[in-house]
């Protein structure tokens, strides 16, 4: 009697788990698709395809898009089959965003001197002489309104400037532990992030030795924030800006799920037959 009763409880528990899973991950028909492609010139292309498949699956799961199917198609292509969603454009932007975050040293006199920026890329390059050193890089810097685009990358042309940064980055995207969208009570959102122990160690060592020097936060090859170091910082930082709620949440999700190993382009979208 006791054994039958125990078995009945086990069956009941298993049934409850199955029911919970079916509620949390409802099955929906795959009604449309997107075909992505990694450029043929990318080194180790097929290995990067496999990594891209894994990152996209993670992003879709985090975005609560269940029952999607992501498959490598050969020749650098990836087929993403999807259930219907309210905003297809937003979802495509979410899965194709590169999501590469870097913390870099800005080449400029220290604070209180204002950070040195250039109006054009040519001016920034000219400041380095006839040849750009291998440990320098010129990047665009956009200090504009991020809320104009749900993917948070569009700014007015007048806001774009250029700066010189040091290579390699102090901390790379692989050392990011977490990212969250935050607000300080107004309509503008920011992204708070934290680093892994290894990333925090490198960041702490650099900031401790560079008080009053300028630090840039780079997202997908574009500087989003610049600040000077007031004191040693270890494992936390913030991407400031005027992000919309959706763009901040999407960017934080992309950063949490990891950067794509190579840029992808959409070569086809459409309904499934």
| Residue 184: predicted pLDDT | 86
pLDDT class for 102, splitting at 50, 70, 90? very high
Helix (DSSP H) and strand (DSSP E) numbers for the chain = 6, 12
Q: Is the pLDDT confidence value at 107 over 90? A: yes
Is residue 90 within 8 Å of residue 250, measured between CB atoms?
yes
Q: Is the pLDDT confidence value at 6 over 50? A: no
Tens digit of each residue's pLDDT (9 = 90 or more) over 24-41: 555 789 999 999 999 999
The share of the chain scoring above pLDDT 90, in percent, equals 70
Neighbours of 91 (CB within 10 A): 21
Tens digit of each residue's pLDDT (9 = 90 or more) over 178-218: 999 999 888 889 999 999 999 999 999 999 999 999 999 99
pTM of the model: 0.76
The domain defined by 28-98+259-271 folds into Alpha-Beta Plaits (3.30.70)
- Residue range(s) occupied by CATH 3.30.1360.200 in the chain: 101-256
Q: Is the pLDDT confidence value at 13 over 90? A: no
- Listed in sequence order, the DSSP H helices in the chain are 2-24, 45-62, 88-96, 121-126, 197-209, 245-257
Task: Report how far residue 67's alpha carbon sits from residue 81's, in angstroms, rounded to the nearest whole number.
Answer: 9
pLDDT, mean over the chain: 85
Q: Is the pLDDT confidence value at 14 over 90? A: no
The share of the chain scoring above pLDDT 70, in percent, equals 84
Q: Give CATH for domain 101-256.
A: 3.30.1360.200
| Residue 114: predicted pLDDT | 94
- Residue range(s) occupied by CATH 3.30.70.3400 in the chain: 28-98+259-271
């Amino acid at each position: 009697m006791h054994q039958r009763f125990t078995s009945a409880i086990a069956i009941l528990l298993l049934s409850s788990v199955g029911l919970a899973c079916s509620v949390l991950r409802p099955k929906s028909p795959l009604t449309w698709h997107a075909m992505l492609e990694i450029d043929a010139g990318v080194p180790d292309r097929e290995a990067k395809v496999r990594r891209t498949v894994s990152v996209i699956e993670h992003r879709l799961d985090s975005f609560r898009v269940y029952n999607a199917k992501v498959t490598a198609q050969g020749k650098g292509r990836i087929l993403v089959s999807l259930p219907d969603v309210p905003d297809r454009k937003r979802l495509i932007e979410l899965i194709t965003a590169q999501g590469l975050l870097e913390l870099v040293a800005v080449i400029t006199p220290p604070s209180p001197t204002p950070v040195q920026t250039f109006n054009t890329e040519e001016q920034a390059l000219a400041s380095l002489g006839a040849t750009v050193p291998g440990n320098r890089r010129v990047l665009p810097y956009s200090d504009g309104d991020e809320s104009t685009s749900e993917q948070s990358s569009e700014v007015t042309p007048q806001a774009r400037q250029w700066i010189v940064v040091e290579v390699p980055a102090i901390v790379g995207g692989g050392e990011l532990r977490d990212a969250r969208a935050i607000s300080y009570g107004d309509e503008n959102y920011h992204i708070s992030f934290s680093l892994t122990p290894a990333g925090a160690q490198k960041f702490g060592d650099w900031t401790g030795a560079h008080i009053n020097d300028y630090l840039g936060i780079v997202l997908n090859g574009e500087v989003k924030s610049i600040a000077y170091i007031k004191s040693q910082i270890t494992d936390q930082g913030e991407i400031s800006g005027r992000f919309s709620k959706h763009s901040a949440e999407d960017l934080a999700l992309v950063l949490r799920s990891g950067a794509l190993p190579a840029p992808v382009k959409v070569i086809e979208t459409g309904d499934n037959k």
